[in-house]
Amino acid sequence: MRSTVPTGETMRHHWLAFTSNRRFHQAPKLVSKAEGIFYHTPQGHKLYDSLSGLWCTPLGHGNRQISEAISHQLSQLDYAPAFNVSHPLAFQLSEQIAGMAPGDLNHVLYCNSGSEAADTALKLARAYWRARGKPEKTKFIGRAKGYHGVNFGGISVGGIGPNRKVYGQTLDAYHLPHTWLTENRFSRGLPQEGDYLADALLQILEVQDASNIAAVMVEPMAGSGGVIVPSSGYLKRLRTLCDQHDILLIFDEVITGFGRMGTVFGADYFAVQPDMLTCAKALTNGIMPMGAVITSRDIYQTMMDQPGDDFMIEFPHGYTYSAHPLACAAAMASLEQLNQPSLMEQVRSLSQVFEDAIHDLKGLPLVEDIRNIGLAGAIQIQSDPAHPTKRASEISALCWDKEVYVRFGGNNLSFAPPFICSKQDIHEIFSRVADAIQQYARQQG
Ligand code: PLP
């Protein structure tokens, strides 16, 4: 079926996710083709993809190895029941992921997205404590500005107010402060200040008591919140406190997983091992929907060792499309490439260029902070007090006109270019973004 540019009546039926649909209809942004690090529009424009889609296509678009793997799998087995039956590729993929994950994170549960991975991990944390004879450990601790997707668990633990406010009651969750500090503005890479922010956990425990807390869930680097990077000792401190108080630590690595920080996981970057790690996005290079929770040996073994007969389901949870054969094929082909040391080396070397290029925008009007780590970064735009997201949204629209796709979230412009881009591409992206910011500032007088 050929796609045509939708107009009038056709436009009425599609309800866009996480989008101001009213605004979209005023100036629809459509892409109809993608290759490498570019999107093409139906109008014939070719745009840099400065966020690897939604942080999910680090190998760029049109990766042959992945599409061939999917086609081959399609010709063999298009679907396998996910419950009581499985298929060989699911086991191979789990072995591959276990080999890449840090320490004893060796057991993999599949789902179809980062949101499902978050909720799966939270449910597993509760089930684990019940299996350990501590059923009262049910509450969760997240962090302000944290994003763990849109399901009920994720929005409860997540710390982005607008994502929660229209949904009424959520799960019992408490929040650590975010790790953005004024004194760290314009830090290059890891900021200096902020290890002490982990101690806020103790204040929460003083009121809630560790005996009620199942898990702390944080992103190693808060991506959607605007690439907020913690200081170097923060996560280590959080790990120590969780150990001292018998609380599970879950890293949401949906953005940081599989190379974004120049190491396979954010856990590797900070040398901190969580009890569970969630991932999605780059796992399949964004080509097939897939998420996963990787758990420690202790969690897996505790669940397997529960008393009960052989017919007992150890963890009553799963999705029709868990470990879908086509997603497994995409993930195998994607991870084969992402696991190449030379690719990680390339990310680390591009990160330096990226850091210099993004920080060159310091001093432009309206730019109030710039942050970066690995191949991820954000430019924080001074908010218009009446409309906190307006300026970033309008600058991102100007970037589109300058043929760069730039995502805004809150008052941040976020960047996570594909690992396959060149140094020149990075410079070109930020030169166009700088033009857009300057043009916007001029228009505002
Ligand atoms: N967790 C994090 C850290 C994310 O960045 C995202 C998405 O951006 C999610 C979870 C949700 O993933 P999905 O949109 O695949 O449900």
pLDDT in tens, 226-253: 999 999 999 999 999 999 999 999 999 9
Please identify, by atom number, the ligand 1 atom nearest to the C-alpha of residue 278. 1
Testing ligand 1's pocket by substitution, the residue of 18, 115, 283 carrying the most ligand atoms inside 8 A of its CB is 115
CB 210 within 8 A of CB 136: no
Å from CA of 114 to ligand 1 middle: 4
> Which residue has a Cα nearest atom 12 of ligand 1?
114
> Which residue has a Cα nearest atom 1 of ligand 1?
148
Å from CA of 393 to ligand 1 middle: 20
**Residue 141 burial by CB count (10 A; 0-12/13-18/19+): exposed, middle or buried?**
buried
Å from CA of 218 to ligand 1 middle: 12
Q: Who contacts 291 (Cβ-Cβ below 8 Å, separation ≥6)?
A: 110, 111, 112, 113, 114, 115, 116, 117, 120, 254, 278, 279, 280, 283
What pLDDT is attached to residue 57? Answer: 98
**Phi-psi sector, 228: left (phi>0), alpha (psi -120 to 50), beta:** beta
What pLDDT is attached to residue 10? Answer: 81
What pLDDT is attached to residue 254? Answer: 98
Angle, CA 362 vertex, CA 358 and CA 364 arms, to 5°: 115
Testing ligand 1's pocket by substitution, the residue of 120, 151, 224 carrying the most ligand atoms inside 8 A of its CB is 224
Which pLDDT tens digit goes with each residue over 52-109?
999 999 999 999 999 999 999 999 999 999 999 999 999 999 999 999 999 999 999 9
Å from CA of 274 to ligand 1 middle: 18
Please identify, by atom number, the ligand 1 atom nearest to the C-alpha of residue 55. 8
What pLDDT is attached to residue 2? Answer: 54
What pLDDT is attached to residue 417? Answer: 98
What is the spatial order of strands in the sheet that 139-143 belongs to? 105-111, 291-296, 276-279, 248-252, 213-218, 139-143, 173-176
Q: What confidence category does residue 8 fall into, taking pLDDT thresholds of 50, 70 and 90?
A: confident
Please identify, by atom number, the ligand 1 atom nearest to the C-alpha of residue 113. 15
Please identify, by atom number, the ligand 1 atom nearest to the C-alpha of residue 114. 12
Q: What confidence category does residue 298 fall into, taking pLDDT thresholds of 50, 70 and 90?
A: very high
Å from CA of 121 to ligand 1 middle: 13
Q: What are phi and psi of 109, to 5 degrees?
A: -110, 135
Which pLDDT tens digit goes with each residue over 336-393?
999 999 999 999 999 999 999 999 999 999 999 999 999 999 999 999 999 989 999 9
Please identify, by atom number, the ligand 1 atom nearest to the C-alpha of residue 112. 15
What is the spatial order of strands in the sheet that 46-49 belongs to? 33-35, 38-40, 46-49, 404-405
With a Cβ cut-off of 6 Å, ligand 1 is lined by 113-115, 118, 147-149, 219, 223-224, 252, 254-255, 280
Rounded CA gap, 140 and 118, in Å?
12
Rounded CA gap, 163 and 168, in Å?
11
> Which residue has a Cα nearest atom 3 of ligand 1?
254
pTM: 0.97
The encoded tokens of residue 344 equal 């990680």
- Looking at the predicted structure, is the pLDDT value of residue 394 above 90? yes
Please identify, by atom number, the ligand 1 atom nearest to the C-alpha of residue 281. 15
Rounded CA gap, 27 and 251, in Å?
37
Å from CA of 115 to ligand 1 middle: 6
Å from CA of 55 to ligand 1 middle: 9
- Looking at the predicted structure, is the pLDDT value of residue 1 above 60? no
Å from CA of 151 to ligand 1 middle: 10
Q: What DSSP state is assigned to residue 275?
A: S
Å from CA of 254 to ligand 1 middle: 6
Give the position of tokens 């589109």: 400
Please identify, by atom number, the ligand 1 atom nearest to the C-alpha of residue 151. 16
Å from CA of 435 to ligand 1 middle: 30
Q: What does pLDDT average to over the chain? A: 97
What pLDDT is attached to residue 380? Answer: 98
